[in-house]
């Protein structure tokens, strides 16, 4: 036995007894004898981890990877060190890289599971603050505050706006502002429930006598002792044939990186002959055949890897990788339906972001191919004419079906979208009608019927200001169009009724609620300048007259009048 091996054996003996300092010394002596042996560095990294010297453990793990980049255990050492440093994202990446090299490595799998458990535990503690942040950053919060009598006045207070902005940027800042009664009212509005301070709770419910008495101090419960984490074990020796197979695989990988695929395939052949039980060699040869353009050979290797993996009960991640690679080859051959099937099979074995993306891409390409094969403008026009017949007979569901067929045959037929929008409007399916009208305008901006369809939908849902804008846009293309002019007139009448207080209380409330859901209205009401303008218009005629000279301000005021938020008496 060489001197280096003697030091290694001595280090292993100390390690087994948890004598980490002595183990580190022994492995250091082994490294001094042979600094190129990756196992010595790996074992010393394990000893440093046992001693909780994480920086040193990480340094030795990275040296191990440098000496033997295809050896998965080195990544396990790195993951363990990063885990000890609580760098969970980096630890997870290290374990994942190791599993790419050795998918069957149980220590790597266990380490990855430990990291994910730790990350989930940490995520749970962050969820509360994240939810608070989402609540304060909700797009409708300012609108809620502006319409609530208890909080409306806060929006004109600079210190409140600064406090709210601070909590929106950093939810943890909420704790230092909870003593401010304004913040308690904001929480009540945001959550839709009554949130009481400690004093309010005492006044509301009173203090129970038993609760108000001091309780004797009790000894704190001792946390349950955790069993010490099992230290990583030194590496076992492997057989000579296995070593030669791994060396052949490393040589194949090096050739693959140089894009010398024939040489890579020859080395993978050698590795398979030396160790036919390791299906990662088949997977690697499949990758080389894929890059070489021999798709049938790639598919054959993948099928062999899957069959072999099933027979030896190989790790599901390796089988999934073979299925994904087969899907890649099928995509190259243009066999999209078969590729989709392979990707779906792979995801049932092991779900990865890469395979999911490939599945989505293949499904999209397959859909586009089917749509392209279905295109036929002549048949599309025939379907549109059939739809027109159903529309005249007031058979609107049948009309929608025919117009949908027309669009499938010719997606650029703006008239089919316009006609389907009209059918949807008759069926009171206003969301679908609006989408079709907007698509019609997108395809043919000068086709005024599209503006008429869109304006009609907006009028029916009482969005009169938006409908006016739509009708006005259409009139730019055809100033004499009676349908557009009539729509514009009807919108002006409805807006005038609301502005002059001619609507019932229920109608006005409904209009204001719809307006407050509009992001543009929310932005106007949350603007400190506009809040001051509105206040001046009700209290300061001189300032109001100055504001009326500003066209941008008056456009926003008119927007509020049209929406029913501001009334003119």
Confidence label for 148 from pLDDT (cuts 50, 70 and 90): confident
Angle made by CA atoms 542, 546, 547, in degrees to the nearest 5: 115
Do the Cβ atoms of 330 and 339 come closer than 8 Å? Answer: yes
Check residues 480 and 157 and name the one with the higher pLDDT.
480
Region 299-316: what's the mean pLDDT? 90
What would the two tokens of residue 106 be? 């149980």
Give the model's pLDDT for residue 145.
75
Q: Which of 278, 277, 325, 271 is nearest to 301 (CA)?
A: 325
Do the Cβ atoms of 387 and 371 come closer than 8 Å? Answer: no
Do the Cβ atoms of 251 and 274 come closer than 8 Å? Answer: no
- In angstroms, the CA 119 to CA 103 distance is 22
| 127 pLDDT more than 70 | no
213 DSSP assignment: S
Confidence label for 226 from pLDDT (cuts 50, 70 and 90): very low
86 DSSP assignment: T
CA distances from 461 to 51, 99, 451, 469, 508 (A): 70, 57, 16, 15, 14
What is the set of domains in the chain, with CATH numbers?
3-125 (1.25.40.10), 161-191 (no CATH), 243-374 (1.25.40.10), 409-499 (1.25.40.10), 514-563 (1.10.260.100)
Q: Which of 422, 509, 415 is nearest to 462 (CA)?
A: 509
Range in 76-90, 107-121, 157-171, 492-506 the model is least confident about = 492-506
| 215 pLDDT more than 50 | no
- In angstroms, the CA 63 to CA 429 distance is 66
| 216 pLDDT more than 70 | no
| CB-count burial class (<10 Å; 0-12, 13-18, 19+) for 490 | middle
Angular region, 428: left φ>0, alpha ψ -120 to 50, beta rest? left
- In angstroms, the CA 566 to CA 563 distance is 8
Return mean pLDDT, the chain.
Answer: 84
Region 49-65: what's the mean pLDDT? 93
CA distances from 284 to 287, 288, 303, 319 (A): 5, 6, 13, 13
Region 101-105: what's the mean pLDDT? 85
| CB-count burial class (<10 Å; 0-12, 13-18, 19+) for 22 | middle
Region 326-332: what's the mean pLDDT? 96
- In angstroms, the CA 388 to CA 210 distance is 79
Do the Cβ atoms of 408 and 371 come closer than 8 Å? Answer: yes
Do the Cβ atoms of 432 and 463 come closer than 8 Å? Answer: no
pLDDT digits (tens, 9 = 90+) for 383-418: 999 999 999 999 999 999 999 999 999 999 999 999
Give the model's pLDDT for residue 425.
95
562 DSSP assignment: H
156 DSSP assignment: G
Q: Which of 6, 42, 14 is nearest to 235 (CA)?
A: 42
What would the two tokens of residue 324 be? 């994904």
pLDDT digits (tens, 9 = 90+) for 514-534: 777 778 888 888 888 888 888
Give the model's pLDDT for residue 201.
40
Confidence label for 443 from pLDDT (cuts 50, 70 and 90): very high
Q: H helices then E strands: how many in the chain?
A: 32, 0
- In angstroms, the CA 447 to CA 527 distance is 37
What would the 3-class secondary structure string for 489-517 be? HHHHHHHHHHHCCCCCHHHHHHHHHHHHC
- In angstroms, the CA 261 to CA 252 distance is 8
| 218 pLDDT more than 60 | no
Q: Considering the entire predicted model, what is its pTM?
A: 0.40
Region 24-50: what's the mean pLDDT? 92
DSSP line for 47-72: HHHHTT-HHHHHHHHHHHHHH-TT-H
What would the two tokens of residue 113 be? 């599971």
Give the model's pLDDT for residue 108.
86
- In angstroms, the CA 450 to CA 180 distance is 53
For residue 275, the SS3 value is coil
- In angstroms, the CA 223 to CA 241 distance is 50
């Amino acid at each position: 036995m060489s001197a280096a091996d003697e030091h290694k054996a001595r280090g292993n003996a100390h390690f087994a007894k948890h004598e980490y300092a002595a183990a580190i010394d022994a492995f250091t002596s082994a490294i001094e004898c042979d600094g190129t042996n990756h196992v010595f560095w790996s074992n010393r990294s394990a000893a440093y981890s046992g001693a909780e010297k994480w920086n040193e453990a990480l340094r030795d793990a990275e040296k191990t990877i440098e000496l033997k980049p295809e050896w998965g255990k080195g990544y396990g050492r790195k993951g363990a060190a990063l885990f000890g440093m609580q760098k969970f994202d980096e630890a997870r990446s290290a374990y994942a890289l190791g599993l790419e090299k050795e998918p069957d490595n149980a220590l790597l799998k266990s380490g990855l599971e430990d990291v994910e458990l730790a990350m989930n535990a940490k995520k749970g503690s962050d969820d509360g603050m994240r939810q608070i942040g989402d609540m304060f950053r909700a797009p409708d919060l300012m609108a809620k505050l502006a319409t609530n009598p208890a909080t409306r006045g806060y929006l004109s207070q600079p210190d409140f706006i600064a406090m709210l902005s601070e909590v929106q940027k950093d939810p943890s800042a909420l704790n230092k502002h909870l003593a401010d009664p304004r913040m308690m009212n904001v929480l009540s509005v945001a959550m839709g429930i009554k949130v009481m301070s400690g004093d309010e709770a005492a006044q509301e419910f009173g203090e129970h006598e038993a609760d108000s008495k001091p309780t004797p101090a009790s000894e704190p419960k001792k946390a349950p002792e955790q069993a010490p984490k099992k230290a990583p074990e030194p590496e076992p020796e492997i057989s000579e044939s296995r070593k030669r197979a791994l060396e052949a695989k490393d040589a194949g990988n090096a050739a693959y990186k140089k894009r010398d695929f024939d040489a890579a395939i020859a080395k993978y052949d050698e590795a398979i002959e030396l160790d036919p039980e390791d299906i990662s060699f088949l997977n690697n040869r499949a990758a080389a055949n894929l890059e070489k353009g021999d798709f049938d050979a790639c598919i054959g290797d993948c099928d062999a890897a899957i069959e072999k993996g099933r027979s030896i009960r190989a790790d599901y991640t390796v089988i999934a990788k073979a299925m994904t690679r087969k899907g890649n080859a099928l995509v190259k051959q243009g066999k999209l339906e078969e590729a989709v099937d392979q990707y779906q099979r792979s995801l049932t074995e092991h779900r990865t972001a890469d395979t999911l993306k490939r599945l989505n891409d293949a499904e999209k390409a397959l859909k586009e191919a089917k749509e392209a094969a279905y295109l036929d403008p002549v048949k599309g026009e025939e379907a549109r004419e059939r739809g027109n017949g159903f529309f005249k007979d007031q058979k609107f569901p049948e009309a929608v079906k025919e117009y949908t067929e027309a669009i499938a045959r010719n997606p650029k037929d703006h008239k089919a979208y316009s006609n389907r929008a009209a059918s949807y409007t008759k069926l009171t399916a206003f969301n679908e009608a609006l989408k079709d009208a907007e698509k019609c305008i997108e395809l043919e901006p000068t086709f005024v019927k599209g503006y008429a369809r869109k304006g009609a939908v907006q009028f029916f849902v009482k969005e009169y200001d938006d409908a006016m804008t739509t009708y006005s846009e259409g009139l730019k293309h055809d100033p004499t169009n009676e349908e557009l002019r009539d729509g514009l007139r009807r919108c002006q009448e409805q807006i005038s009724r609301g502005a002059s207080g001619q609507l019932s209380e229920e109608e006005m409330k409904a209009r204001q609620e719809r307006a407050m859901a509009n992001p543009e209205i929310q932005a106007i009401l949350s603007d400190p300048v506009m809040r001051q303008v509105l206040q001046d218009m009700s209290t300061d005629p001189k300032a109001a007259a100055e504001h009326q000279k500003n066209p941008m301000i008056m456009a926003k005021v008119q927007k509020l009048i049209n929406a029913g938020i501001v009334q003119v008496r």
